[in-house]
């Protein structure tokens, strides 16, 4: 086989490998994108600070044990939002208070919430102790 035939077959092979891909919807955004402006950096700094302030407020709310139902509802909301990892210590302390408290409830939903939260966090709760708290 001559060198011309070899070159021709390589060129044909390369030509066959190309395809007609559609252009990306992103275009060249990530190639030409410059670093954030100072306004965006200021917004980012403000959001981080605001996030820190809100976490501190929630920590403070979790340490207020005056209304155990409100504390349990707050823990439930934090877990449903998926941000409970920020408050693991405070949630543990609050649930310890809920567990130790003489909890007289007037409704099944309150008892169920207490039972579910304590079970989720590894407390050994028996459904009879919950039902006893319903008999007020």
Identify the residue whose tokens are 């035939």: 5
CATH domain 35-134 topology: Glycosyltransferase (1.50.10)
pLDDT value of residue 47: 92
pLDDT value of residue 135: 59
How many residues can be counted in the chain?
136
pLDDT value of residue 101: 85
pLDDT value of residue 21: 72
pLDDT value of residue 125: 81
Q: Closest Cα partner for 44 from 55, 35, 31? A: 35
For 108, residues 6+ apart whose C-beta sits below 8 A from its C-beta are 134
pLDDT value of residue 36: 65
pLDDT value of residue 33: 61
pLDDT value of residue 3: 56
Q: Tens of pLDDT along the chain (136 residues)?
A: 555 555 555 555 555 566 677 777 766 666 666 666 777 788 889 999 999 999 999 999 999 888 889 999 999 999 999 999 999 999 999 999 999 887 776 688 888 899 999 999 999 887 666 566 655 5
Q: Which two tokens stand for residue 56?
A: 């501190």
């Amino acid at each position: 086989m001559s060198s011309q035939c070899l070159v021709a077959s390589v060129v044909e092979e390369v030509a066959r490998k190309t395809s007609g891909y559609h252009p990306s919807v992103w275009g060249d955004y990530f190639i030409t994108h410059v670093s954030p402006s100072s306004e965006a950096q200021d917004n980012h700094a403000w959001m981080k600070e605001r996030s820190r302030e809100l976490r501190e407020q929630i920590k403070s709310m979790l340490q207020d044990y005056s209304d155990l139902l409100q504390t349990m509802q707050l823990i439930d909301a934090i877990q449903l939002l998926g941000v409970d990892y920020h408050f693991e210590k405070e949630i543990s302390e609050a649930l310890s208070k809920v567990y130790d408290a003489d909890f007289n409830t007037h409704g099944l939903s309150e008892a169920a919430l207490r039972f579910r939260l304590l079970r989720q966090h590894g407390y050994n709760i028996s459904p009879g102790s919950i039902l006893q708290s319903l008999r007020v």
